[in-house]
A and B are shown apart, each in its own frame.
Chain A
Amino acid sequence: MTAGRFKYVTYIASTPQAVFRALLDGQLTRQYWKHTNESDWKPGSKWKHVADDGQGTVRVVGTVVEMIPNRRLVLTWAESDDAEDPKQHSQVTIDVEPVGGMVRVTVTHEELVPGSDMANKVANGWPRVLSSLKSLLETGHALDTWAS
């Protein structure tokens, strides 16, 4: 029942507005994620996760399921080759909430195929992305997110 489901949590000394902007604003995502997230962010719209590699390589695609500014973003998530196959889409929920002067960011990634390439990439990726996001917002410097 819980296979293929991950939850990642970080606490950031920031505001929900700043955290949410950092998820969507390409100027910021380039620094801590080395990708941009592109969409009009309306429920039902497509979104894509594009590498900042000078070639615009699309790494992840999906649909915007829910969007509550400064609080919650729900997306489906798939390899670009699997864009048209809903069975291959996992789902990501990013919750942003103020907690005791900090902001709790919770990423719940579910409906992944256990042991799949995507599940491994996701399990390896989110802790790096969240640590780097925290570092950027708290110190002004992102980490070397994808260093081995």
Chain B
Amino acid sequence: MTAIGDVDAVFKALADPTRRELLDRLYSNNGQTLTELCKGLPVARQSVSQHLDVLAQANLISVEWRGREKHHYVNPVPIHEIYERWIRKHEVQRLQALHEFKKRLEGGRK
């Protein structure tokens, strides 16, 4: 069993257009209920509910019960961790490459 928020679960959850759409909708309007999220989506309610479960398992959303209503909140923390792990690292390498390039060009001018 994978742990909640496991990086495999995060990539798997993001590899689906409906789930990305749900995250976008929560980003622009946080805390929506299932009924609100279903509006205008060409997908059955039950299917949206399953997509939300996958997102929750990946820790990309968190849920909160208020009375009988379940509200969904986008949780960007795992995406930030992916940024740290996979993007920032490469930025640093690119900057170093540019730095080497500059050194070589400037050194060549002498």
Contacts and interface: CB of A to CB of B under 8 A. Distances in A.
A127 B30 contact: no
Contacts of A9: 5, 59, 62, 75, 77
Interface string B12-46: 00000000000000000011100000000000000
B73 A6 contact: yes
Interface residues of A, number: 25
Interface in A19-63: none
Interface majority SS (helix, strand, loop, mixed), chain A: mixed
B84 A8 contact: no
Contact of B77 (A1, A131, A144, A147): A131
B80 A5 contact: no
A135 B88 CA distance: 15
Interface in B39-86: 59, 62, 64, 71, 73, 75-77, 79-81, 84
Size bin of chain B's contact surface: 10 to 19
B76 A8 contact: yes
A57 to B, nearest CB: 25
Interface in A48-104: 99-100, 102
A53 to B, nearest CB: 23
B98 interface: no
B4 interface: yes
B105 interface: no
22 contacts: A1-B31, A2-B30, A3-B30, A3-B31, A5-B30, A5-B31, A7-B73, A9-B5, A9-B59, A9-B75, A10-B5, A10-B59, A11-B3, A126-B77, A127-B77, A127-B79, A127-B80, A130-B80, A131-B77, A134-B81, A135-B84, A147-B88
